[in-house]
Amino acid sequence: MRCQSKRSILSLFLTLLAVTCSASSASQTSWSKYLKQHHPNKKTGFPLLLCVVEETQAASLLPIFATSVLALPGRWEKSLTVVATSPSAKAICDRIHSSCFLEEHVFSHERVNFTGSRAFKSQPSYSPAKSTKVKRTAETLQIAWGKVYYAELTVALGYDVLTLDVDMVLLRPFMKQLQGSLADMLYSEDVPGAPNVGFMLYRANAQTLRFLQIWQEERFDPQSVEQYHFPAAVKLAQAEMPHFTVKALDIAQFPGGCGVNSKKWWCCDSSFPKNTPAAVRSHWAIFHATCVYGEKRGAKLAILRRVLAVCMPS
């Protein structure tokens, strides 16, 4: 009887493993076909630009973000792919941008967790980085870990990829600065020493691919976004791969609302960004609306519109 029970458990485990591997393989095949169709040349010297959006963000933040990308000269617009988390998000995206992608089985109603069988839940959680209670909705978790999931698939296919949050605007070309670094991975910061993974460049190599796998495997709290697991994942990756290099970008050129606020230029003030010295604004390659809350109330939208109007070179 005990042997039968063990065989039943083993059979169930193998079945679940087969289903997981099959879903992952199908996702990689679907994504691979999409990239071959829309981005056939991996050797352009320009990374794939990737963001993930749910319905609310697609309707509110994506138009502003896409406007900023469209205004940049060169390959920026052609390199951008938007991954939607639902059919409704994709329908909105299709009206804004020509390269939108959806895999419903990845962002299903079961809230598939990209690290295993645990489910996403819309419950409060405790941030590992802070001792405060932080509510992470299922949609927030899908976007956060969806970026990491698709970054892994993209790097595995041989593409450099730049993942971006859509609560930001791109103000001037910055690819030469990124290409000048030999690091395997580049990331932005809220303030010096505090990583913000809303802006991440991944080089297509075996070390970066392994890091992305470690990041997902070591997700110890299913209720936390990817950013809180990033420092620990970097340490684990560098212990396993001593030559794996990670570099923070210059916050003066890649700023966010948190960094601006720390300099007493309060970005939620109606005079922002004009209250920031012009000499400082002229160095901004992007502006990321971190530490700006109230997306549904329009706070982020208002800030990003003003930054785009004031800071985008004419």
Instruction: Read off the pLDDT of each residue in 185-206 and give the average, rounded to a whole number.
Output: 94
pLDDT tens digit sequence for 235-261: 999 999 999 999 999 999 999 998 888
CA distance 146 to 53: 9
The confidence score (pLDDT) of residue 45 equals 81
Predicted confidence (pLDDT) per residue in 57-92, tens digit: 999 999 999 999 999 998 899 999 999 999 999 999
Identify the residue whose tokens are 């698709």.
150
Higher pLDDT, residue 15 or 43: 43
* pLDDT of 24 above 60: no
In this predicted model, what pLDDT tens digit does every residue of 208-241 receive, in sequence order?
999 999 999 887 777 788 998 999 999 999 999 9
Q: Is the pLDDT of residue 205 over 90?
A: yes
Provide φ and ψ at 173, rounded to 5°. -60, 135
Average pLDDT over residues 104-112: 62
Query: What are phi and psi for residue 279, nearest 5 degrees?
Result: -65, -30
Residue 269 pLDDT level (bands cut at 50, 70, 90):
confident
* CA Rg value for the chain: 20
- Tell me the sheet residues that pair with 247: 186
Domains and CATH numbers, the chain: 31-251 (3.90.550)
3-state secondary structure the chain: CHHHHHHHHHHHHHHHHHHHHHHHHHHHHHHHHHHHHHCCCCCCCCCEEEEEECHHHHHHHHHHHHHHHHCCCCCHHHHEEEEECCHHHHHHHHHHCCCEECCCCCCCCCCCCCCCCCCCCCCEEECCCCCCEEECCHHHHHHHHHHHHHHHHHHHCCCCEEEECCCEEECCCCHHHHHCCCCCEEEEEEECCEEEEEEEEECCCHHHHHHHHHHHHCCCCCCCCHHHHHHHHHHHHHHHCCCCCEEECCCCCCCEHHHHHHCCCCCCCCCCCCCCCHHHHCCCCEEECCCCCCCCCCHHHHHHHHHHHHHCCC
Judge whether 162 and 151 are in contact, CB under 8 Å.
no
What backbone phi and psi angles, to 5 degrees, belong to 195?
-60, 145
Taking the C-alpha atoms of residue 312 and residue 314, their distance in angstroms, rounded to an integer, is 6
Mean pLDDT of 87-108: 91
- Token pair 């679907």 is found at 30
